[in-house]
Amino acid sequence: MTFDLFDSLPPEPDDDPTETLAPGAVLLRRFARDDDQALLAAVGDVTASAPWRHLITPGGLRMSVAMTNCGSYGWVSDRAGYRYDPIDPDSGLPWPSLPAPFLSLAARAAAAGGYDGFVPDACLINRYLPGTRLSLHQDRDEQDMRAPIVSVSLGLPATFLFGGLRRADRPARVRLAHGDVVVWGGPSRLVFHGIAPLADGDHPLLGHERINLTFRKAR
């Protein structure tokens, strides 16, 4: 199945902050911008307890994107495979709790995207530096596929690759700026998606970094 998506970078945001990417998938321009200070402070609190790390894929490759987690479950990867785990393997302790600003934003964004009542139990926090990327993949390690994915962009702009239900489907290239939120679920829940290599730049709050918060219902 291939969605009929635009194929090039969209124009700069206009007065309409909501863009439909595919059935069940929307882009909420600037939705998190007013919350950015609280969100970044919460990221600092999480990483103080669960520092950034570069996971190893089951095939033995080191991921270029640094990450950590918070919530009841964290997404981990090693030679044994991809999975959710309630324990941080680096510390042997439970992951930090989901901060209140995270929970509030995730619920509001999901509702704005048409998914009322979303209560995530996991947040993957990724840190991108110039040149890092995330290859096309599906989010399929969650048990409840009825819940959406809520993805928040902070810092440097990125090119979001949003494809179809087959890896071979040509993805749309969607420009994501600071504060943009993508919500997808329903018929788009298992689309292949990723991030193109991050271009260099200098963001007023994050300098040469991009932070991505991905909220999920793991269990």
> Annotated binding residues for 2-oxoglutarate, as ranges?
126-128, 210-216
> Annotated binding residues for Fe cation, as ranges?
137, 139, 193
> Annotated binding residues, as ranges?
75, 82-84, 126-128, 137, 139, 141, 167, 193, 210-216
Tell how strand 158-162 and strand 193-195 pair up. Answer: antiparallel
Q: Which residues of 60-95 are buried (b: 16+ CB within 10 A; e: fewer)?
A: eeebebbbbbbbbbbbbbeeeeeebeeebeeeeebb
The residue behind tokens 């007023």 is 204
> Annotated binding residues for substrate, as ranges?
75, 82-84, 141, 167
